[in-house]
Amino acid sequence: MTTALVFPGQGSQSVGMGKALAEAFPAAREVFERVDAALSQKLSHLMFEGPESELTLTANAQPALMAVSMAALRALETGAGFRVAKEAAFVAGHSLGEYSALCAAGALSLEDAARLLRLRGEAMQKAVAVGEGAMAAILGLDFGAATRIATQAASDLYLSGAICAAANDNGGGQVVISGTKDAVERAMELAKLAGAKRAILLPVSAPFHCPLMQPAALAMETALKDVKIGRPRPPLVANVTASAVADPKEIRQNLVAQVTGTVRWRESVDYMSAKGVTRFIEVGAGKVLAGLIKRIADGVAAISVGTPADVAAFKTSAETSTKQ
């Protein structure tokens, strides 16, 4: 069985996430303590106790989700004997999850990942004034159709400086578009006319993964220059290329491009599946990626590990497989 580890992005956060892991596994608790120290903030208290309004702020949600992913991974390692470098063929993450993936593969330190994601969240929030941008999920159209609609919407409103782009190709007929609010709303209308099942405005604070994020990309380019990035073991399947990369220089460039570029999740899963991956383990908060993967790739197993019960179930499954 060939395995890939995948790490969730923004939207998977919830108050209470990681608390049970911290209580059950000393290695998980240490992750939260190190992240708190790196950020000079009791981020773990915000994760465990809320309030939700503060946890969902981009600057908090991004490092918080990474922390939960790494805590779950440490629990998987110490509680179930999982070894990333030996047992995973690839790592991948959805948007901010790419930083979790790099940390899991030993290419980025936990502290650097936390600080970079705090800066990334702040820069993405500042890039566009609140209320000027928007994102929407288009359901029931493929990526090509959604991209054409985004382009048409921006063209229809070009005099107002409208921007609209496909931000996330999530697979299973789900594409997220991003841009100026007027263009996104126009694209939603066009999508419905083109036969989309639904077009849903998302409750986000900024239009991620589109050209409006260029100021944030420049901020990340500056920040990443001073951060040590090693070779990930196993290699990373990057959002912007949907292919494996291990060269630190290329990883650095991709992390900058990722801020404004499309998250090519469907293609990333297809790539790993074509390379022989038959089991995907989503590590961290929620079960979003496992659900998407099951809709993208036929015949693969996709499980989520984010709680002590999940770790116990994984251990039992691994022991049963070894005995057979």
pLDDT 10s digits, 266-278: 999 999 999 999 9
290 and 158: one domain?
no
138 and 268: one domain?
no
Structure tokens at 124: 């993405």
pTM of the model: 0.97
235 and 316: one domain?
yes
51 and 175: one domain?
no
Number of domains in the chain: 2
Q: Can you give the pLDDT at residue 323?
A: 65
Q: Can you give the pLDDT at residue 160?
A: 76
Give the whole-number percent of the chain exceeding pLDDT 70: 99
Q: Residue 172: which domain range?
A: 133-204
The stretch 235-264 carries a mean pLDDT of: 98
189 and 236: one domain?
no
Strand partners, 133: 180
195 and 227: one domain?
no
**Residues noted as catalytic:** 95, 209
CA 314, CA 305: separation in Å to the nearest integer?
A: 8
User: Among 204, 223, 250, where does a domain finish?
Assistant: 204
CB-based burial label for 74 (10 Å; 0-12, 13-18, 19+): buried
